[in-house]
Amino acid sequence: MSFIDKILFVFYPGKCAFCGELMPYSKTGVYICGDCLKSIRFCVNEKCCPICGVPIVNDKKICDECFSLKKNGTSVSYDKIVSSCIYDKSTKNGILKFKTGAAGGSYSTFAGIIAPIVRSSLKNIDLIVAVPPRKERMIRSGFDQCHVLADKISKLLDIPYKKNAMRRIRETGKQSSLSGEMRRENLKGVFEAVIDRGIIKNKNILVIDDVKTTGSTINECAAALKKKGAAHVYGAVIAETNLER
């Protein structure tokens, strides 16, 4: 550590967003310690499905689920989802802490690792929106993790962000205890785009969420945005749950 770094470390320490280790001040606002850097599976180093972003273990070009959807002619509403890393034991705790608002400052790290993958994988995005929070979460923590992420990503990429562009028509309860099929059913038609049609008509929209499990949340957001005239809808998340297929 250089002398300057030592001074900065004393006065402006940061914390690794994944394990909480104290770290020297970083101009970029991205705090990931050396151990986490080594253990985290970043999606840029993985072979992932070019449509839904899930890691692919076989030598196919797209994952089995996207393949069977294509074959049946039942396509999803989103055009592509990208993730910065894989949700596993190396990333889970940091992300959960961030989601609950206990480590709200980690947003700059998470936005800082999502922005480059958006920049390299998704072109011509006109507007960024965030998945609207569940009411229960807002009452509990008052922290809207997708909003702070989207706001920071917007600044990093210099793409406008529209706050409160979407709302939940009904509450859905916690999704984490449900199976994939139940999640999909539970979320059907749950979002409404409350943004002016004129703003999103024929535009390419990027939806920011925290963790992707089945892709249902982004899919439902995409359906609502396309109903209002959006041309393409993409999704970007911190982490992709490790459902390799």
C-beta of 49 vs 200, nearer to Zn ion = 49
Answer yes or no: are the C-beta atoms of 196 and 164 closer than 8 Å.
no
C-beta of 49 vs 166, nearer to Zn ion = 49
Answer yes or no: are the C-beta atoms of 106 and 98 closer than 8 Å.
yes
Tell me: does residue 49 bind Zn ion (CB under 5 A). yes
Residue 31 Cβ, how far from Zn ion at the closest point, in Å? 8
Residue 17 Cβ, how far from Zn ion at the closest point, in Å? 8
Which residue(s) pair with 128 in the sheet? 161, 206
User: CA 166 to CA 185: how far, in whole Å?
Assistant: 19
Instruction: Please pick, from the candidates 48, 66, 114, 195, the single residue that binds Zn ion as defined by CB under 5 A.
Output: 66
User: CA 13 to CA 145: how far, in whole Å?
Assistant: 22
Residue 66 Cβ, how far from Zn ion at the closest point, in Å? 3
Answer yes or no: are the C-beta atoms of 65 and 53 closer than 8 Å.
no
Q: Which residues have a Cβ under 8 Å from the Cβ of 68 and sit 6 or more positions away? A: none
Residue 89 Cβ, how far from Zn ion at the closest point, in Å? 12
Which residue(s) pair with 55 in the sheet? 48
Applying CB under 5 A, the site for Zn ion has a residue count of: 11
Choose the binding region for Zn ion from 63-71, 79-87, 106-114, 171-179 (rule: CB under 5 A).
63-71
Answer yes or no: are the C-beta atoms of 21 and 43 closer than 8 Å.
no
Instruction: Please pick, from the candidates 48, 52, 190, 230, the single residue that binds Zn ion as defined by CB under 5 A.
Output: 52
Question: Which string of x and - marks every residue 5-44 that binds Zn ion (by CB under 5 A)?
Answer: -----------x-xx-x-----------x--x--------
C-beta of 126 vs 244, nearer to Zn ion = 244
User: CA 106 to CA 122: how far, in whole Å?
Assistant: 24
Answer yes or no: are the C-beta atoms of 80 and 234 closer than 8 Å.
yes
Residues recorded for the chain:
245
Residue 220 Cβ, how far from Zn ion at the closest point, in Å? 17
Find the binding residues for Zn ion in span 157-186 (CB under 5 A).
Answer: none
Instruction: Please pick, from the candidates 40, 43, 48, 63, the single residue that binds Zn ion as defined by CB under 5 A.
Output: 63
User: CA 84 to CA 81: how far, in whole Å?
Assistant: 10
Residue 167 Cβ, how far from Zn ion at the closest point, in Å? 28
Residues contributing to the site for Zn ion (CB under 5 A): 16, 18-19, 21, 33, 36, 49, 51-52, 63, 66
